Structure 1
Amino acid sequence: MAAKKIMLLVGDFVEDYEAMVPFQMLLMVGHEVHSVCPGKKAGETVATAVHDFEGHQTYSEKPGHNFMITTTFEEVKAEDYDGLVIPGGRSPEYLRLNPAVIECVQHFAKANKPIAAVCHGQQVLTAADVIKGKTCTAYPAVQPDIEAAGATWCAVNETASNACVSDNIVTGPAWPAHPEWMRAFMKLLGSTIEP
């Protein structure tokens, strides 16, 4: 397997598992992964939040770990990367307001490079206008955004563990989908893992 260079786009209050687990999984199989955050430099951290499903009408939120930024966003060039990962949490709601983020995401989409987004990360995809005509899933509260952006909604299974692949984009509803979501993303990257 040829190692790929992956950009992981995060911000303060990114969902803890949705940033850390994909970062570690992709490193584990030999890819080069750069975590980036607009306005933060390599060596700084973002705060994360742990979201859980505890029987309330929506998810609960607790403080997570500090997650290290490995590469300064303002110095990266999207054309140097083979794939993009956008975790969920609260960061996508404001990252999507950043024109440089939108331009970066649009580069990956136009170049048909693999993009993986999970949970609320799809808010960045809708703002970048890159999912029209695609089929996507997300945290259920993001369904109106997905449909308003011209994509077809892929239903979330009862354990939120499914993933949806549509051309170069793979989406998952929440961190329980990591095995399916990352497996599908690695397949788009051309990665293989022996059983």
Structure 2
Amino acid sequence: MARVLILTGDAAEELDSMYPVFRLREGGHEAVVTAPTTRPVKLVVHDFEPDCDAYTEKPGHLLPVDVALADVVPEDYDALVIPGGRAPEYLRTNPDVARIVRHFFDRGLPVGTICHGPQVPAALGLLNGRTTAAFPPLRTDLEQAGAVVVDAPDVVDGTMVSCRGWPDLPEWSRAFMAVLDKATVQE
């Protein structure tokens, strides 16, 4: 059983956040949610509607938080997941987020990013030379960070697994669970 840290915050996309938590638990792993504080985070629901040029945002569920970012000991975890939504936009500037995310990348541990999640490692210079998927409008930003952006539901680059957004979660989940299972068997 792996311990997987879910790094999220207010305005994270509901499916991007909750689907991995449930899938990891279903797979026998421990999913531990971290955010800036231990109060429940306010998730949002993003949808694509025909009369809107961008995605729409509605209030979502609350997601309980297990540990505050400042209290995370990265060595206690086997993998990391960064859900999308608007949370990565502000989390990427948090020094504890940098400390945590660098730990997983520096050690080649499994990292999953969903939708806007790649904004975090991109801001830290960790996607330079890496292949990733992401919410399509992020392509230019990620390419500026040195990433190769692929339009696919389950991009695997070593131990990093990414996708474009919540519609890709079944494919992303299968790929991430395979990388996680392989990594935990090798330990």
TM (normalized to structure 1)? 0.90
Q: CA deviation at 1:136?
A: 0.7
1:52-98 Cα offsets, whole Å, 9 max, x none, are: 11122111111100111022322221111110000001110000010
Aligned to 2:54: 58
Which blocks of at least 5 consecutive residues in structure 1 are unaligned? 157-161
Contact kept, 8 Å, 1:134 with 1:167, in 2: the verdict is no
- The match for 1:8 among 6, 25, 30 is 6
Counterpart-to-counterpart distance in 2, 1:75 and 1:99: 12
Aligned to 2:163: 172
Say which SS state the counterpart of residue 65 (structure 1) adopts.
strand
Structure 2 residue 134 is the aligned partner of structure 1 residue 138: yes
Identity of aligned residues (%): 41
Q: CA deviation at 1:163?
A: 1.4
1:156-176 Cα offsets, whole Å, 9 max, x none, are: 4xxxxx111111111100001
Structure 2 residue 119 is the aligned partner of structure 1 residue 123: yes
One-letter amino acid of the counterpart of residue 46, structure 2:
H
Counterpart-to-counterpart distance in 1, 2:148 and 2:166: 21
Contact kept, 8 Å, 2:161 with 2:175, in 1: the verdict is yes
CA RMSD of aligned residues (A): 1.1
1:84-134 Cα offsets, whole Å, 9 max, x none, are: 000001110000010110121111001000000011111101012111111
Structure 2 residue 74 is the aligned partner of structure 1 residue 83: no
Q: CA deviation at 1:12?
A: 0.5
Aligned to 1:159: none
Contact kept, 8 Å, 2:69 with 2:97, in 1: the verdict is no
Counterpart-to-counterpart distance in 1, 2:6 and 2:123: 18
Q: CA deviation at 1:190?
A: 1.4
Counterpart-to-counterpart distance in 1, 2:93 and 2:71: 19
Q: How does 1:17-166 map to 2 (within 5 A)?
A: 17-38=15-36, 40-41=37-38, 44-55=39-50, 56-156=52-152, 162-166=153-157
Count of residue correspondences: 181
One-letter amino acid of the counterpart of residue 49, structure 1:
V
TM (normalized to structure 2)? 0.93
1:165-194 Cα offsets, whole Å, 9 max, x none, are: 111111100001111111111111116xxx
Of 97-106 and 5-14, the range deviating more from structure 2: 97-106
Higher percent of residues as helix: 2
